[in-house]
Amino acid sequence: MKYLIPITILFFLITAAVFAAPAEVVYAEGEASIKDTAGDEFEVYIGDEVKTGDTVSTGYDGFVEMDQNGVVLKINSDTVFTLMEREEGNEKTDVFSIALGSIKFRYDKLTGKEPKIQMVSCVAGVRGTEFTVFSGVDGSALIVVDKGRVEVEAEGETVELNPEEGVEVQPGAPPGEKFKVHRDQIDYSKWNEEKTNKMLQNPVDSIINLQKRMDYYIENVAEYYSLFSEYREKLLAERAKANEIAEKQGKEAGTKYYSEVVDPIAFDTGKLGLNVRYFSLAALSMRRFVAGRIYLSIKTAYITDLANNIFIEFLENYNNLLANFEESIVSHLVEADI
Amino acid sequence: MKKIVVLIMISLIFASCASVQKKDERSIFTVAELINQGDSGALFRMSRVPFLLDQEIILLKKDIETFWSNIIEAGYTVDSPVLEDGQAIGKDSYLRFYDSMEVKTFFKKYLPEKTRMLELKTSTNQRILLLVEKKWLTRKIYGFKGPY
């Protein structure tokens, strides 16, 4: 209950402040669904609009092609994609979030305001026109550029990829060494299978790596929520002051104070709230599509030997991850997110 | 005359309770039998999305398929299952799975009203918790916890 009022205000401010251009589904085949921000899920059809906060999931035979203002996204099978938005450098930025699977991007033209690509382990800034991102079972990412350039950032380090170059990023680690790759040479299934084998061999390490990434989300949520709370207090105080001015000096003076002082604070508060939501949802996505799937694999691998020390150690680390998520992220989520 | 009506009503209540217990028993035997027979395909077809595994909400169909096929491949069996407890789901039933906002929301948002929470015990004293909805001739599985 204690979070209800802040979250309600947060939603109100975000709703008032944002909403990016939707993406249009131009082609769909096989199993594919859209889960909207209200939590309702429905099948994907050509012509559907994917709005900010919507998640597109494809099944084993699914494929969806979308267009967002000249950016073509080819969402391959077994992929989970969310259209998100955050505030960065005083501007709203669209974010294409890939929790799992692979997507090929093609930009008809570059405007300098290209959406960021968010994977579990890193963020890619787009300078190129054609590239593919892969998001693996353990949260690893693989980025391969066909044309143009892409900047990949993780843990404060950046790698710039040129055509026919690729890089892999492990969760909680900076980008690895760049490597040369020819167009369409990467076999995503094989790469993901290697990740699965590695995860099964070292389940404890996989969870520890994810915890590092969870810490990053938690730090950002805490930082933005603290600023958001500060601005919200300021906003309430300034609103009261504006009303007082209107009462004492007249409606015109009150309106002037509102537009000069209150509105800019309301706008900034909305942007901070947007980032709280962005990092909370990114943490939820990682918890659901990476941590949850690792749990499933490890639990079923040890189901006949749950007293095994490896499983027990895995479980201890996993429970820590869940406890941190519960303590720092859940209060910023609502039922529709689940 | 009044006594006869009361007796009939009591008999009906008993018959109804016995019938619910029979349905619960049939549900756990069906699931156990399919696991023991290694029929992951049937278990997958009976399962619904989203699916609750312990504290995890499984959203992808492929993962539910993986869950059933993995436990069968691992050689997991449910020996001599006995129904320990069968209850209609209520406000706090989620606590028997896991105490979190996510699991609480799963129970509230995704489980049909008539879902039953069934606890079975095996010959090795292991327990499993199942979320099952019995509808006409079909059974739907919404969750699995255990063995614990």
pLDDT band at A115 (very low <50, low <70, confident <90, very high): confident
CB–CB contact B63 A293 (8 Å): yes
How far is the alpha carbon of A204 from chain B, nearest alpha carbon, in Å? 18
Find, in chain B, the residue whose alpha carbon is nearest to that of A79. B60
What are the φ/ψ torsions at residue A333 (nearest 5 degrees)? Answer: -105, 160
pLDDT band of B52, cuts 50, 70, 90: very high
* CA dihedral sign of residues A300, A303, A309, A314: positive
Q: Which residue of B has its CA nearest to A300?
A: B71
Contacts of A60 in chain B (CB under 8 A): 62
Q: Does B107 touch chain A (CB under 8 A)?
A: no
pLDDT band at B11 (very low <50, low <70, confident <90, very high): low
For residue B75, the chain A residue with the least C-alpha distance is A304
A101 in the Ramachandran plot: left (φ > 0), alpha (ψ -120 to 50) or beta? left
> Is A3's pLDDT higher than 50?
no
Residues 6+ apart with CB under 8 A from B19: none
Residue A74 has pLDDT above 60, yes or no: yes
Distance CA A250, CA A101 (A): 59
Write out chain B residues lying below 8 Å of A298, CB-based. Answer: none
Chain B touched by A300 (CB under 8 Å): yes
A170, two tokens: 């492990």
> Is residue B13 predicted with pLDDT exceeding 80?
no
With contacts defined as CB-CB under 8 Å, which chain A residues touch B106? 338
Chain B residues whose beta carbon lies within 8 Å of the beta carbon of residue A59:
60-62
What is the spatial distance between Cα A86 and Cα A278, in angstroms, rounded to a whole number?
6
Q: What is the mean pLDDT of residues A48-63?
A: 93
Record: contact B101-A338, CB cut-off 8 A? yes
Query: What is the distance between the alpha carbons of residues B124 and B32, in angstroms, rounded to a whole number?
Result: 14
Q: Is B74 an interface residue toward A (CB < 8 Å)?
A: yes
DSSP code per residue over A15-80: HHH--PPPEEEEEEESSEEEE-TTS-EEE--TT-EE-TT-EEEE-TT-EEEEEETTEEEEE-SS-E
What lies within 8 Å, CB to CB, of A108 at 6+ separation is A70, A71, A72, A129
For A244-279, what is each residue's pLDDT tens digit? 999 999 999 999 999 999 999 999 999 999 999 999
Tell me which residue has tokens 């669904």. A33
In CATH terms, the fold of domain A20-187 is Jelly Rolls (2.60.120)
pLDDT digits (tens, 9 = 90+) for B84-141: 999 999 999 999 999 999 999 999 999 999 999 999 999 999 999 999 998 878 899 9
pLDDT of residue A70: 82
Contacts 24+ apart (CB under 8 A), A157-166: A160/A127, A161/A128, A161/A131, A163/A128, A166/A142
CATH class of B2-145: alpha beta
Strands A63-68 and A55-58: unpaired
Looking at residues A166-176, what average pLDDT do you find? 93
> B104: part of which helix (H) or strand (E)?
helix B101-110
Interface check A57 vs B, CB under 8 A: yes
Test the A interface: residue of B59, B78, B94 with most A CBs within 10 Å: B59
Interface check B124 vs A, CB under 8 A: no
- Check CB contact of A80 with chain B, cutoff 8 Å: yes
pLDDT value at A7 more than 80: no
Q: Name the residue among A72, A75, A70, A71 with its Cα closest to residue A58.
A: A75
Can you give the pLDDT at residue A129? 78
Mean pLDDT along residues A35-53: 92
Specify the pLDDT at position A290.
Answer: 94
Tell me the average pLDDT of chain B: 91
pLDDT exceeds 70 at position A2: no
**pLDDT, position A88:** 81
pLDDT tens digits, one per residue of A178-227? 999 876 678 888 999 999 999 999 999 999 999 999 999 999 999 999 99
Chain A residues near residue B147 by CB distance under 8 angstroms: 303, 306
The interface pTM score, or ipTM, of the predicted complex is 0.89
**DSSP helix/strand/coil, A179:** strand
**Quick check: B18 pLDDT over 90?**
no
Q: For residue B134, give the amino acid letter.
A: K
Q: Please, are residues A320 and A254 in contact by the beta-carbon 8 Å criterion? A: no
Chain A: closest CA distance from residue B147 (Å): 8
Does the pLDDT value for residue A125 go beyond 90? no
Q: Note the pLDDT of residue A84.
A: 92
Q: What is the pLDDT of residue B10?
A: 60
Q: Contact A276/A282 with Cβ under 8 angstroms? A: no
pLDDT given for residue A246 in this prediction: 94
- What's the confidence (pLDDT) of residue A5? 45
> Given B74, B106, B109, which is nearest A304 (Cβ)?
B74
Q: What value does the mean pLDDT of chain A take?
A: 89
Give pLDDT, residue B136. Answer: 79
Could you read off the pLDDT of A277-286 as tens digits, one per residue? Answer: 999 999 999 9
Chain A to chain B Cβ contacts (< 8 Å): 67
Among B53, B60, B75, beta carbon nearest to A57? B60
Domain ranges of chain B: 2-145
pTM of the model: 0.87
Q: Pick the closest to residue A258 from A235, A232, A233 (CA basis).
A: A235
In A92-111, the residues whose Cβ lies within 8 Å of chain B are none
Looking at chain B, which residue has its C-alpha nearest residue A307? B148
DSSP secondary structure of A264-293? HHHHHHHHHHHHHHHHHHHHHHHIIIIIHH
Nearest CB among B60, B67, B101 relative to A300 is that of B67
> Does A338 sit within 8 Å of B58, measured CB to CB?
no
**What single letter denotes the amino acid at residue A23?**
A
Using a CB–CB cutoff of 8 Å, tell me whether B20 touches chain A.
Answer: no
CA–CA distance, A186 with B32 (Å, rounded to integer): 42
Mean pLDDT confidence for A169-173: 92
Minimum-distance CB partner of A338 among B55, B57, B62:
B57
Percent helix, strand and coil across chain B, each rounded to 5? 45, 25, 25
**Block residue for tokens 């949850």:** A292
Question: Distance, in angstroms, between A321 CA and closest chain B CA?
Answer: 13
Domain-by-domain residue ranges, chain A?
20-187, 203-337
Which residues in B47-75 are b (16+ Cβ under 10 Å) and which e?
bbebbbbbbbbbbbbbbbbbbbbbbbeee
